[in-house]
Amino acid sequence: MSVVALDVAAVRARFSALDRPTAFFDGPGGTQTPDEVIEAMASYLRESNANLGGPFETSRRSDALVVSAHHAAARFLGCGAEEVGFGQNMTTLNFMLTRTLGRELRAGDEIVVTRLDHDGNISPWLELAHDLDLVVRFADLREEDATLDLDDLERQLTGRTRVVAFPWASNAVGTIADARRVADLAHQAGALAWADAVHYAPHRPVDVREAGVDVLLCSPYKFCGPHLGLFYARRELLERWRPYKVRPAPDEPLGARLETGTLPHEALAGFLAAVRYLDSLGWDAIMAHERELGERFLAGLPAGLRLHGLPTMEGRTPTFALSVSGRTPQEASERLAELDVAAWWGDYYAVEVMRRLGLREGALRVGIVHYNTAEEVDRLLEALAVL
């Protein structure tokens, strides 16, 4: 079946933010926001702003919005609406979820994390281990291509493993992990599969049932939504867990029991609009376009640059970690900024990845997303050639 090509000019016309000379390759740190998302947030604040549960119009609209946002999140992740919840961001939600799970863990229980992870899926476990005397084991990555070492992951599993926390995709090097395989290994060991999908969700459709994961987190601001976090937790876990919640807050839907206090309703309105926006493009078109741009980038990579990670678009997102000979990553990023090309440098909180790859100053990160163009990639390549 042929995929309808993405009309990038039409896509970009939906973003006032892209109507400027800057070429944005900073997507893995957060994408630009389409006008329809901004408008949804503004119109919520203008027309529907209220707290929940009141008999008046604005409150009724807010009630309806929160329900719709949970349903949209469930569709986005492939689960039930009672299995999702929103929060400030992935990191805050993960501290909350790990702490909640911690109520059923015992001293000596073990958690496996990976060296491919962003620290948002490592530090919450280290802190929990500190409080509860848990053991945290690290599954390695393969140095030659920065892929997850599944054999080593398997070696870390013991009879005491309670959780395998892993990144579905790496925000540092773009590697995609085989979530189904990791989840199967975790389950065979009697452990939960705890996926960080923050970097995966902007690039591929998520289906938590197909992946077989028990908990998953992502951040809508990485896929054209507002600053917000989103989690999925399997229904049986939510039924079993005792969440940290205030007594008067409702017990239904289940996932909402982990949403402490009043949610950012305007961000939920923005999230709904972002999901509609992505639906309107279609994942096949997004993936085909990103792959094409990724291949163009890899084919044109100038000499003098070293790529850390997979050398083709197979098994990866179009996020590339580079070392530039004769320049620190910071200098390279600053020079690109002078040329109006936005790209990050550093470790982007993927500290274990950088340590493992021996990159003391981190790397230069180029992140392509669906609204980038072939011309922008060419501009980037020209800029990299003269760094």
Ligand X SMILES: Cc1ncc(COP(=O)(O)O)c(C=O)c1O
Interface contacts to ligand X, rule CB under 6 A? 28, 89-91, 118, 120, 167, 171, 196, 198-199, 219, 229
Q: How far apart are CA 33 and CA 47, in angstroms?
A: 21
- What is the smallest separation between the CB atom of 378 and ligand X, expressed in angstroms? 26
- What is the smallest separation between the CB atom of 167 and ligand X, expressed in angstroms? 5
- What is the smallest separation between the CB atom of 219 and ligand X, expressed in angstroms? 3
If 0-12 CB within 10 Å is exposed, 13-18 middle and 19+ buried, where does residue 245 land?
Answer: middle
CB closer to ligand X out of 117 and 376:
117
- What is the smallest separation between the CB atom of 90 and ligand X, expressed in angstroms? 3
Q: Dihedral sign for Cα 332, 334, 338, 341, please.
A: positive
CB closer to ligand X out of 91 and 147:
91
CB closer to ligand X out of 48 and 171:
171
State the Cα angle at 380 between 375 and 381, rounded to 5°. 95
CB closer to ligand X out of 228 and 273:
228
- What is the smallest separation between the CB atom of 230 and ligand X, expressed in angstroms? 9
Distances (CA, A) of 333 to 124, 171, 309, 327, 357: 30, 17, 19, 10, 20
CB closer to ligand X out of 28 and 226:
28
Residue 198 and residue 217 in contact, taking contact as beta carbons nearer than 8 Å: yes
- What is the smallest separation between the CB atom of 226 and ligand X, expressed in angstroms? 11
CB closer to ligand X out of 31 and 91:
91
Residue 240 and residue 254 in contact, taking contact as beta carbons nearer than 8 Å: no
Q: How many CA atoms lie within 13 A of 91 on its CB side?
A: 9
Sequence-ordered list of residues with C-beta below 8 angstroms from that of 58, at least 6 positions apart, any chain: 47, 48, 49, 50
